[in-house]
């Protein structure tokens, strides 16, 4: 029997990867006007296409999901066209690429959001620390607690982003449910103090993630979908009892 090494092929879902190296999502802050991927992004991913699988930097599912400057979104036709250049470049090099879907929630700042709106979260609890803005570091603000109807709107935005990811030519997608961003804020009891169907016990705190997953799976087969979790990570002032 031949020895399995880092360079041995492996199956992931429907993909046959040339090796077992997976490039993790890494925020680059290099998007152009309209938070659209540009030529710099194309070259960055093309250079790394020899990895078995690339998972892109996190990509906001709507303008209100943004939490950092110049992060490439996946909710407009212009952004889809930019990402399509990237997926074509990676595929032309023989690589495979997933996109990571992102909603930052309270880890944002009015300076980054349409109409300088207040960031949102499961509960109105301000994180410790500072946001990265175009003008430098600024203290986080207290977020606004989402209503149940607004949560459903966000679920629909994830579904829309999943459709856009297909149009952009991705091989699959990963739902970002880690690192203190919006889905993680629902999962953890330090940031989720709700008393409705989205708060309290673990089943309720998982409801938002499960609804996002169900919505995405209406667009993609499950073999093309992953979830990133970080249950013991305290990044972005996140914790759980």
The two tokens of residue 141 are 């603000």
**In sequence order, what DSSP letters do the residues of 181-239 get, joined into one string?**
SHHHHHHSTTT----STTSSSHHHHTHHHHHHHHHHHTTS-GGGEEEE--TT--TTT--
Of the residues 75, 103, 181, 198, only one is catalytic, namely: 181
Which of 91, 88, 145 is closest to 118 using CA atoms? 145
Secondary structure (H, E, C), 3-66: CCCCCCCEEECCEEECCCCEECCCCCCCCECCCECCHHHHHHHHCCCCCCEEEEEEEECCHHHC
CA-to-CA distance for 116 and 196, rounded, in angstroms? 28
**What is the DSSP pairing of strand 10-12 with strand 15-17?**
antiparallel
- 3-class secondary structure, 80: helix
* 44 tagged catalytic: no
Q: Known catalytic residues?
A: 181
């Amino acid at each position: 029997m031949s020895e399995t090494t880092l360079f041995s092929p492996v199956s992931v879902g429907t993909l046959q990867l040339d090796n077992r190296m997976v490039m993790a999502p890494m925020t680059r802050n290099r998007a152009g006007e309209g938070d659209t991927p540009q030529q710099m992004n194309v070259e960055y991913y093309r250079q790394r296409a020899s990895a078995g699988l690339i998972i892109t930097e996190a990509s906001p599912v709507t303008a209100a999901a943004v939490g950092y400057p110049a992060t490439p979104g996946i909710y407009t036709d212009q952004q889809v066209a930019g990402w399509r250049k990237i997926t074509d470049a990676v595929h032309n090099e023989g690589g495979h690429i997933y996109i990571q879907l992102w909603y930052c929630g309270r880890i944002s700042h009015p300076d980054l959001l349409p109409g300088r709106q207040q960031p949102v979260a499961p509960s109105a609890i301000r994180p410790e620390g500072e946001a990265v803005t175009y003008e430098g570091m600024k203290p986080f603000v207290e977020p606004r607690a989402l209503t149940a109807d607004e949560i459903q709107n966000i679920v629909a935005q994830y579904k829309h982003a999943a459709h856009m990811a297909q149009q952009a030519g991705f091989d699959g997608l990963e739902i970002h449910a880690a690192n203190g961003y919006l889905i993680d804020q629902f999962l953890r009891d330090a940031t989720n103090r709700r008393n409705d169907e989205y708060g309290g016990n673990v089943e309720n705190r998982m409801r938002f993630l499960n609804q996002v997953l169900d919505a995405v799976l209406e667009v993609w087969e499950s073999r093309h979908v992953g979830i990133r979790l970080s249950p013991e990570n305290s990044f972005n002032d996140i914790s759980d009892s």
